[in-house]
Amino acid sequence: MAHADTHALHAADHHDDHKPHGIGRWLFATNHKDIGTMYMVFALIMFFIGGAMAMVIRLELFKPGMQFVDPGFYNSLVTSHALVMIFGAVMPAFVGLANWMIPLQIGAPDMALPRMNNYSFWILPFAFTLLLSSFFTAGGGPAGGWTLYPPLSLQAGDSFPLTIFAIHMMGASSIMGAINVIVTIMNMRAPGMTLLKLPLFCWTWLITAYLLIAVMPVLAGAVTMLLTDHYFGTSFFNPAGGGDPVMFQHIFWFFGHPEVYILILPAFGIVSEIIPTFSRKPLFGYDAMVYATASIAFLSFIVWAHHMFTVGMPLAGQMFFMMSTMLIAVPTGVKVFNWTTTMWKGSLSFEPPMLFALAFLFLFTIGGFSGLMLAIAPADYQYQDTYFVVAHFHYVLVPGAVFAIMAGVYYWLPKWTGHMYSMTLAKWHFWVSTISVNVLFFPQHFLGLAGMPRRIPDYNVQFTDWNMVSSIGGFVFGLSQLLFVAVIIQSARGGPKATAKVWDAEPLGLEWTVPSPAPYHSFSDAPEVH
């Protein structure tokens, strides 16, 4: 009896460091850090696969004339680039960060549902194997655009069912991840951590998780209707059978617009963590930030048809969607003003996470400006489906969401690995990426305004100059991401020991109270929050 007790105590002492060994540690992983790591590595691999597709696109667009790829294959690249980047890179990267950081930030030992956590990750490699293998089927990969508009998407060959099932799997994975986030945050917060003391990264993720649960089934429904239209003779979207192809667009964008915020709200959370740390000052207007995030999430459900002003909606409908879309600028503005005021009268230093957060602040705002212009329905008639739109959403997704992810990785990497990384190398990554991303995407505003439609593999000679500039920016941006990988590998392998606080600042949050690297099981005893 006594012996057993000692043994149990002994085991408990070493419990924090006990890790399963071999491939089983990853295949049967239930530890939030292991699963978080797998998500992040997966997202990085997908970022390079999607990036390689973008490189081929920019290569073909380098000059007028068709030099490298067939137009049909070009459409497959455009379609898969979007699906891979959205569902394979950005979303899994956010889920990976959530896995790593939410238990650490709320003082919990792990995620609430570890087994489901394992499923939600392991679905993804299969989903993307299915999606990417469709390139080798008769007719090639999916080529109807990531928006899958019928009737065009129904003309696909054997890639069609593979794409649909891959999307179903991605959706199931997202929903499981979202349930896990909600249950964890709602039930496993440390004593004393009320909802309005929750770190903003957790807040934005909580709201994102509700968005995911609300809209992923809508996407699943839409693609299932495509599937039955294609194989089982239904006519949801087939006008010859009494269906309506525009109805698909309404359903798709009812998913698609909240999806846009799914891709950016966690980024807001990351930036809201980093700017106060390196301004050495608490976030300005915490409550307003939470309410602004919630308002953006609510508004995201009533603006969807601004993606489809040209489909021939009634005047009243266009008016409504124009006005509601413009309204989103208000809470988004509140956020930008709060971040700016956080820096006001601060004591700023510019470590790599802060540099990326600042680039986010400027460049996301530029994406916000073009978004405001796109909201103006009469002007949108000129912008719709041109490179102006391509520039807009790449500004909010690349120097927006992707830079925020990189900022988060640079912020928390020493906490994960226990090692500081080379600040010089990370700053090189920052400067080359930030300059090249603007060279890549800014000229696309000009191309769109001057009349270049999106999703075309070739163009009139008047568009040559800006396309060349954009392509050069693209190649540099693509290559510079190898620096990111180099920093991560270096930090994982070794380097100067990181302290618990990591940064020469007083970062707020429970994650900075545990040693670096964070123990395998985060908080066996719940900390008190005052």
List the catalytic residues: 81, 110, 146, 173-174, 257, 259, 261, 272, 306-307, 332, 335, 454
C-alpha angle with apex 180: 177 to 186, nearest 5 degrees?
140
Pick the stretch among 14-22, 40-48, 113-121, 382-390 that binds another protein (CB under 8 A). Answer: 382-390
Asked whether position 16 contacts another protein by CB under 8 A, the answer is: no
Give the residue, chosen from 129, 228, 424, 462, that forms a contact with another protein under the rule CB under 8 A: 462
Asked whether position 82 contacts another protein by CB under 8 A, the answer is: no
Identify the bridge partners of residue 381 per DSSP, sorted by sequence position. none
Complex with another protein: residue 136 or 381, whichever CB lies closer: 381
For residues 410 and 453, the answer to whether their CB atoms sit within 8 Å is: no
Give the residue, chosen from 129, 228, 382, 424, that forms a contact with another protein under the rule CB under 8 A: 382
In the region spanning residues 170 to 199, those forming contacts with another protein, defined by CB under 8 A, are none
Asked whether position 317 contacts another protein by CB under 8 A, the answer is: no
Asked whether position 424 contacts another protein by CB under 8 A, the answer is: no
In the region spanning residues 336 to 365, those forming contacts with another protein, defined by CB under 8 A, are 336-337, 340-341, 343-349, 358, 361-362, 365
Give the N- to C-terminal CA distance of the chain in Å, as an integer: 39
Question: Tokens in use for 266?
Answer: 């966690």
Give the residue, chosen from 302, 329, 425, 492, that forms a contact with another protein under the rule CB under 8 A: 329
Asked whether position 384 contacts another protein by CB under 8 A, the answer is: yes
Task: Residue 71: count other Cβ atoms within 10 Å of its Cβ.
Answer: 12
Chain position carrying tokens 């190649």: 475
Distant-in-sequence, close-in-space partners of 497: CB < 8 Å, separation ≥ 6: 418, 419, 420, 516
In the region spanning residues 228 to 257, those forming contacts with another protein, defined by CB under 8 A, are 239-240, 243-246
What is the contact mask toward another protein in residues 469 to 508, using x (rule: CB under 8 A)? ----------------------------------------
Complex with another protein: residue 134 or 491, whichever CB lies closer: 134
How far is C-alpha 307 from the chain's CA centre? 20
Complex with another protein: residue 184 or 277, whichever CB lies closer: 277
Closest CA to 47 of 406, 492, 411: 406
Closest CA to 433 of 379, 487, 492, 500: 487
Give the residue, chosen from 145, 161, 495, 519, that forms a contact with another protein under the rule CB under 8 A: 145
Task: Residue 338: count other Cβ atoms within 10 Å of its Cβ.
Answer: 18
Distant-in-sequence, close-in-space partners of 204: CB < 8 Å, separation ≥ 6: 265, 266, 268, 269, 272, 293
Question: Tokens in use for 165?
Answer: 């099932």
Q: How far is the CB of 290 from another protein (least distance, A)?
A: 12
Asked whether position 18 contacts another protein by CB under 8 A, the answer is: no
Asked whether position 456 contacts another protein by CB under 8 A, the answer is: yes
In the region spanning residues 62 to 81, those forming contacts with another protein, defined by CB under 8 A, are 64-67, 69-72, 75
Identify the bridge partners of residue 293 per DSSP, sorted by sequence position. none
Complex with another protein: residue 13 or 287, whichever CB lies closer: 287
Q: How far is the CB of 204 from another protein (least distance, A)?
A: 18
Q: How far is the CB of 71 from another protein (least distance, A)?
A: 5
# binding residues, another protein (CB under 8 A) = 90
Pick the stretch among 42-50, 120-128, 367-375, 490-498 that binds another protein (CB under 8 A). Answer: 367-375
How far is C-alpha 460 from the chain's CA centre? 34
Task: Residue 462: count other Cβ atoms within 10 Å of its Cβ.
Answer: 12
Q: How far is CA 428 from CA 260, 477, 480, 484, 497, in A?
A: 30, 12, 9, 9, 22
